[in-house]
Structure 1
Amino acid sequence: MTASTQNQARPGTSVADGNADGKAFRDLNGNGIMDPFENPDLSPQERAADLVARLSLEEKAGLMFHTVIETGPDGTLLEQPGNISKSPTSTVLLGKFMNHFNVHALGPAREAARWSNALQALAAQTPHGIPVTISTDPRHAFIENSGVSFTAAHFSQWPEPIGLAAVGSADLIRRFAGIARQEYTAVGIRAALHPTVDLATEPRWCRQAGTFGQDSELSSKYVVEYLQGFQGAELGPDSVACTTKHFPGGGPQRDGEDAHFPYGREQVYPGGRFDEHLAPFRAAIAENTSAIMPYYGMPVGVELDGEPVEEVGFGYNKQIITNLLRDKLGYDGVVLSDWELVNDNIVGDQVLPARAWGVEQLTAPERMLKILNAGVDQFGGEECTELLIGLVRDGLVSESRLDESARRLLLVKFQLGLFDNPFVDEDAAASIVGNAEFRREGHRAQSRSVTVLTNGTSDVGPSLPLSGSPAVYLEGVDPLSLDGFGTVVPDPEEADVAVIRLHSPWDHRDDLFLEQHFHAGSLDFPPGLVSRLRTLAEKVPLIIDVRLDRPAILTPLAGFAAALVGTFGVSDTALLDALFGRIGPEGRLPFEIPRSMDAVRASRPDVPGDTADPLFPFGHGLSLPEPATAASAASATATSTTDTLGQTP
């Protein structure tokens, strides 16, 4: 262990207990006595109960907020407002007693570990030394959207979750989760704000890439493997605690618009499939997911047990959180609200109104009170601890209500072993995060997830897999990635084949904060693009890949492409490995591809596979011949290992 990872001085230093048997412990409150919450021999439940009784109102309130944090340069703490975070680190930690933070951009592994240790050392200065729980949105794939996920950067890079589902291997999902867990824990990240188990039933909805697709049964199966890989059989010192979202299923958005934004607030069930969307959450609860996050959406026209559900956002909805989740489903874990239900989010000159759908007329304290009464334990994206303290002091909320949530939140920290050792080893972090083996496995998974939709449909030119060393015309592909596959030519008429990468289309919007990152609206390609590619296909056979972060209307492309493939988070090199058969593509569509936008508009948002006469149905995908040579087969072989929780490929 490097010097910077040693337990810091007062409080939190390991000392001998003069009142017991001389056993060393972390003296978190600095009184020289091993209090029950400091005793590692007691159960997490006993320790949490002891600590709750010792906390001040301000400390309890601090536990109940979970907001964005940003790092300083070279692994230092950021002591000024960040790009999104509103306050210096010491202000939220020492001044507001907050200790749950969603970290955004991270530097290289050693710097990330150094920052984590500095944060934990600062937390040790609070009255009871409560360690910080560092959380993250997904950061192992390709989508960069500060409201949803981050590109892999220094971590190993894998397909988006929907790409893992396209491979259709439960073992692969558990293996990914086990590797991600090792990389997270190496830098001190102990909570995952995922998995997303919403069903991809509305083709236009912008968040399908983070899901496991449209099928409820498969999503229920995959979430179990995902939680096993991250959490293990039970939470422990090697685990990452998962937040399964977005309860009770965020997929059926009216017109496919997202509930981050006022125009996307309505969630509808014209097909009566509410229970189908709920099924993956039942599986997650049975697998002891550490936390659950309700979505922003406001249910419209929904009934539970014969009673109309109040048309307010799920985070405000007592029928959904207390009656359904707590009472009917028996869930006693943490309920974390989605971000900014109380206050508007103002970043620079852009504003995103509080997602107070159905309760827009309420004041911020009134919104907070309704969220508490609904049964939420923790406010996401907020740091207004003074509002909660004021509700208690005004007699509107009992302190015992805070005790209930504080117990749940502290229990997770004790289960993770954070009170006994929250520090990480910088050297180990540098050797674990993004190591060559993990990167190889991620690359192989990307190639496997490539989904071949058509092959050999052109009258001329090659079909897949490509062979030899062809002259290749490229669009949307880094020319350097073709090294070892063929020769790049600038003129399509000189090429043997063209490889074209497109992105699934969307309507470009940039009025509200974050709006530009959410791909929503029409699934039709611009007619000019289609016309240009049709003309190009008269000169050279086209291999067209479409990055399917959501479906696209591929009907015009299928008419002239020599081969058409879909990808769900795949690098250029991994795509070429699949196209040349070096790593066989195995993908099968995790959602259907509609034939037209008319079919999309006529479909029911809550019903999977509901577009008329789809161009490609759910589960479609063509297989290619095995790699032709021993060398290519060897390049596709990944090394297997066993980690501390026993996950194997």
Structure 2
Amino acid sequence: MIKIFTKKVWSVSLITGAIGLSAFTNHPPKIPVRKTIEQRIDSLMAKMTIDDKIGQTAQRGASSRVKGPLPEVLKTAVREGRAGSVINVVEIDKVNELQRIAVEESPRHIPLIFARDVIHGFKTIFPIPLGQAATWDADIVEQGSRIAAQEASSVGIRWTFAPMLDIARDARWGRIAESPGEDPYLASILAKAYVKGFQGDDLTKQNTMAACAKHFAGYGAAEGGRDYNTATIGVQMLYDVYLKPFKAAKDAGIGTFMASFNDLNGVPATGNQFLLKGILRNEWKYDGMLVSDWNGVVEMTTHGFARDSSDAAAKAANAGIDMEMASNTYEKNLKALIASGKVSITQLNMLVRDVLRLKFRLGLFDNPYTEQADGKVLLTDASLAAAKKAVIESAVLLKNDNVTLPFGKNIKKIAVIGPLADAPHDQLGTWTFDGDSKDTQTPLAAMQHLYGKDNVFYAPGLNYSRDHSTDGFSKAIKATHDADVIVFFGGEEAILSGEAHSRADIGLPGAQDSLISALHQEDKPLVLVIMAGRPITIGSVLDKVDAILMAWHPGTMGGPAIADMLAGIYAPEGRLPVTWPKTGAQEPLYYNHTNTGRPANKQNYVAIDSIPIGAWQSSLGNTSHYLDAGYLPQYPFGYGLSYTMFDYYHLVQDKTIINMGDNIQFSAEIANVGEHTGTDIAQFYVQQMVGDVVRPVKELRGFKKISLNPGQKQTVIFTLNTADLAYHNQAMKLVTDPGKYKIWIGKNAAEGLQGSFEIKEPVVVEKINKVRRIKR
């Protein structure tokens, strides 16, 4: 009996009738039911004045960082309930001071959300997002985001403005550095990984951050690659390309969205009801928070979409922008707009509910303060090791003539040249507010450690990437005289990519081409390591270097990772997440284009120098190409070499004809036929031959990363369902068409084993008329 009594109350209550004990005849006290988030919002909203509500829509702070003592104007705004969020306060004592004012002194005691751009690391800086996309590895992306969340949340940052999910097809656009690349399938997989990394499994845990899917939408299609510019995107392409990673982030439970700066088809995203209400809220049923970009609301007046700040506030609020970043059109105008009926109180309530919902989901009402971490959180050994691994997986080997890499035992003395060999700040890349160059480990330092200082001869030749002076050339040439190999670290400074840093000429800036040409005259193996935020056109030096390693802007651990790859301790594993152009004039350039009525190929391509002098006026090859740049890129999407060789063979498919709704399976053998252990990424592409709208020549539909020892082989299997082939037709219905399809399994978008299959037309069986059947 004692055992019975010590069980849970519900167990005892079930047996009271059987044991006949009067002490248990009454029902046990009910455990209070915890209010749902929506019920808590209802209770709070009932107490809030219109001023309280408008205050929650304001994000305050500084453009980069609040320095020195907290400004009194900021503290007053928080005290009076005129701030829902604070941006760019990153010291834990300041965070807690402002939070104390909010929860103890403001009218409704509503906690603040502290926000920061934590894009590819907080203190431990990982490769730029475009570099992380080159890993084709969701685990690496998730791990980097998890480390960033742990570090940033330790000082009170609970909201990051990442990931950027803009499909980018133009390397001239500065913000391609923050992009997941040009492919919606790869970008969607990485989007989910970013969300999981930043947000974890439980947003109420203090070592997590709410992620933000930005920029919604179409920013990556900015005209001419010029930042902030207009985007014109057909509705099918919008849904089938540009929105896919955003939908993946929404489905993964992302906490916030950010509206884009650009106008989309003539309507600024910040006031675009089609985007923000029609798609995000109504179609996708998104119930998270939506924030403007910096000054995005008031800039609708500059666009010519709003008459003044009042009109801008009305259009943003009615489109569903919950929180205004930086500008103050809501604070100044919403109350009057509601009084005049231009914005309804119902609409304001919806905006405020979204803000409060995020705060409840973050657990800020129950635990608003940030506790000082007990142990080391920033720049831990594990974090640095993860960052180094990310560099190795992101680095793309573009060229390796004469097996220049990895260095053999005969390489003992190395000349290290170039403006980025020892540039700790620039190595971190764009948008790293909190990364500290003193924590950066550069290639020069790493190579000196690996080979010994006496065996590494360093002369930058140029002081920075844009340097046009040739004064340092002679010293750089002299440094090569006793070297067995020359390694040139070039590319672009961090400031040359990222927001507002678009480039028309995306070649190596400054006098880098000239210096490489001079080094080529020394007739020694010459390796080019590129650090940049975008693909760099290298046609002028391509034949003058023996090997090219694209390291992107690799972050804190770039130096040791690059040194180890050059030495062969590790092999680069990255594959291009974007098509690499020969010239910036080819942009926008992407693999999943449509065919046109006159596609170019090597048989019908006409080169400018092959045209006879005085030729009769004609359309020559009658195909879509440039006379002076051809029709092919420098390197295709998915491209990347290894220190070993991989062969693909024995394509097998289990069916050739399938019904709608069926699966079809494809497999291929991959063998390591080289002398080194290596990693390859098997890529699976599909082409629909005929569609209701023209379909891309290829679309990525799967990939598998495999590591093989020399002589080892492995079978890769891809399963495709007909639903995976759905696209939006002319009527904007999501459909999969019957008909013929091609597939490829290969190393990149330009080559592979080819197969085909057909989806059968659905058979329509007419119902037999029961009456007629009876009569017969």
- Secondary structure, in 3 states, of the residue corresponding to 1:432? coil
Instruction: Establish whether residue 284 from structure 1 lines up as the match of residue 249 from structure 2.
Output: yes
- Secondary structure, in 3 states, of the residue corresponding to 1:524? coil
| Cross-structure match for 1:599 | 586
Quote the offset at 1:158 in angstroms: 0.9
Which amino acid letter does the alignment assign opposite residue 357 of structure 2? L
Q: Which moved more, 1:226-235 or 1:547-556?
A: 226-235
Separation in structure 2 between the aligned mates of residue 608 and residue 296 of structure 1, nearest angstrom: 28
- Secondary structure, in 3 states, of the residue corresponding to 1:189? coil
Change (3 A) 1:284 1:558: same
- Conserved? CA contact 1:196–1:210, under 8 Å: yes
Which amino acid letter does the alignment assign opposite residue 97 of structure 1? R
| Cross-structure match for 1:483 | 448
Instruction: Establish whether residue 442 from structure 1 lines up as the match of residue 387 from structure 2.
Output: yes
Which amino acid letter does the alignment assign opposite residue 567 of structure 1? A
Change (3 A) 1:241 1:608: farther
Which structure is larger by alpha-carbon Rg, 1 or 2? 2
- Secondary structure, in 3 states, of the residue corresponding to 1:473? strand
| Cross-structure match for 1:328 | 283
| Cross-structure match for 2:642 | 623
Separation in structure 1 between the aligned mates of residue 246 and residue 577 of structure 2, nearest angstrom: 19
Separation in structure 2 between the aligned mates of residue 48 and residue 180 of structure 1, nearest angstrom: 30
Question: 193, 199, 209: which is aligned to 1:225?
Answer: 193
Separation in structure 2 between the aligned mates of residue 206 and residue 377 of structure 1, nearest angstrom: 28
Quote the offset at 1:494 in angstroms: 2.5
Per-residue deviation, residues 51-107 of structure 1 (Å, max 9, x unmatched): 11111211111111224347666xx74216xxxxxxx32133124520312216x4x
Question: 575, 581, 584: which is aligned to 1:588?
Answer: 575
Separation in structure 2 between the aligned mates of residue 435 and residue 508 of structure 1, nearest angstrom: 30
Separation in structure 2 between the aligned mates of residue 178 and residue 359 of structure 1, nearest angstrom: 41
- Secondary structure, in 3 states, of the residue corresponding to 2:267? coil
Instruction: Establish whether residue 156 from structure 1 lines up as the match of residue 124 from structure 2.
Output: yes
Separation in structure 2 between the aligned mates of residue 616 and residue 505 of structure 1, nearest angstrom: 23
Which amino acid letter does the alignment assign opposite residue 268 of structure 1? T
| Cross-structure match for 2:157 | 189
Separation in structure 1 between the aligned mates of residue 371 and residue 35 of structure 2, nearest angstrom: 26
- Within a 5 Å distance, the mapping from 1:417-456 to structure 2 comes to 417-428=363-374, 431-456=376-401
Separation in structure 1 between the aligned mates of residue 494 and residue 486 of structure 2, nearest angstrom: 24
Which amino acid letter does the alignment assign opposite residue 463 of structure 1? L
| Cross-structure match for 1:122 | 101
Change (3 A) 1:400 1:598: closer
| Cross-structure match for 1:66 | 59
Separation in structure 1 between the aligned mates of residue 36 and residue 316 of structure 2, nearest angstrom: 30
Quote the offset at 1:627 in angstroms: 12
| Cross-structure match for 1:33 | none
Pick 1 or 2: higher relative contact order, CA cutoff 8 A, min separation 6: 1
- Within a 5 Å distance, the mapping from 1:170-249 to structure 2 comes to 170-233=138-201, 235-238=203-206, 239-249=208-218
Quote the offset at 1:336 in angstroms: 1.1
Per-residue deviation, residues 573-623 of structure 1 (Å, max 9, x unmatched): 33222222233321111111111233226x589959999301111111111
Change (3 A) 1:568 1:67: farther
Which amino acid letter does the alignment assign opposite residue 413 of structure 1? K
Separation in structure 2 between the aligned mates of residue 257 and residue 165 of structure 1, nearest angstrom: 22
- Within a 5 Å distance, the mapping from 1:26-175 to structure 2 comes to 41-69=34-62, 77-79=69-71, 88-95=73-80, 97-103=82-88, 106=90, 112-124=91-103, 125-141=105-121, 152=122, 155-175=123-143
Separation in structure 1 between the aligned mates of residue 322 and residue 162 of structure 2, nearest angstrom: 17
Change (3 A) 1:59 1:527: closer
- Conserved? CA contact 1:206–1:258, under 8 Å: yes
Quote the offset at 1:503 in angstroms: 2.1
Which amino acid letter does the alignment assign opposite residue 187 of structure 1? V
- Conserved? CA contact 2:155–2:370, under 8 Å: yes
| Cross-structure match for 1:411 | 357
Per-residue deviation, residues 536-593 of structure 1 (Å, max 9, x unmatched): 1121332112223122212222211121111222233332222222333211111111
Q: Which moved more, 1:117-126 or 1:499-508?
A: 499-508
- Conserved? CA contact 2:413–2:482, under 8 Å: no
Quote the offset at 1:628 in angstroms: 8.9
- Conserved? CA contact 1:252–1:605, under 8 Å: no
TM-score, normalised to structure 2, is 0.63
- Conserved? CA contact 1:312–1:357, under 8 Å: no
Quote the offset at 1:356 in angstroms: 4.2
Change (3 A) 1:274 1:446: same
TM-score, normalised to structure 1, is 0.75
Question: 530, 533, 558: which is aligned to 2:516?
Answer: 533
RMSD: 3.1
- Conserved? CA contact 1:237–1:415, under 8 Å: no
Q: Which runs of 5+ in 1 are unaligned?
A: 1-38, 81-87, 107-111, 142-151, 301-310, 344-353, 630-649
Per-residue deviation, residues 351-370 of structure 1 (Å, max 9, x unmatched): xxx35464356111111111
Quote the offset at 1:234 in angstroms: 5.3
Separation in structure 1 between the aligned mates of residue 33 and residue 396 of structure 2, nearest angstrom: 50
| Cross-structure match for 1:523 | 506
Question: 264, 268, 272: which is aligned to 1:317?
Answer: 272
Change (3 A) 1:272 1:254: farther
Separation in structure 2 between the aligned mates of residue 525 and residue 44 of structure 1, nearest angstrom: 54
Quote the offset at 1:465 in angstroms: 4.0
- Secondary structure, in 3 states, of the residue corresponding to 2:553? coil
Which amino acid letter does the alignment assign opposite residue 432 of structure 1? V
Q: Which runs of 5+ in 2 are unaligned?
A: 1-31, 423-443, 460-478, 596-624, 645-673, 678-776
Which amino acid letter does the alignment assign opposite residue 89 of structure 1? L
Change (3 A) 1:171 1:433: same
- Conserved? CA contact 1:592–1:616, under 8 Å: yes
- Conserved? CA contact 1:340–1:355, under 8 Å: no
- Secondary structure, in 3 states, of the residue corresponding to 1:595? coil
- Secondary structure, in 3 states, of the residue corresponding to 1:159? coil
Separation in structure 1 between the aligned mates of residue 495 and residue 192 of structure 2, nearest angstrom: 35
Quote the offset at 1:224 in angstroms: 1.0
- Conserved? CA contact 1:472–1:495, under 8 Å: yes
Which amino acid letter does the alignment assign opposite residue 138 of structure 1? V
- Conserved? CA contact 1:541–1:562, under 8 Å: yes
- Conserved? CA contact 1:101–1:134, under 8 Å: yes
- Secondary structure, in 3 states, of the residue corresponding to 1:321? helix
Separation in structure 1 between the aligned mates of residue 217 and residue 543 of structure 2, nearest angstrom: 40
Change (3 A) 1:420 1:340: same
Which amino acid letter does the alignment assign opposite residue 256 of structure 1? G
Equivalenced residue count is 529
Task: Report the identity percentage.
Answer: 25
| Cross-structure match for 1:257 | 226
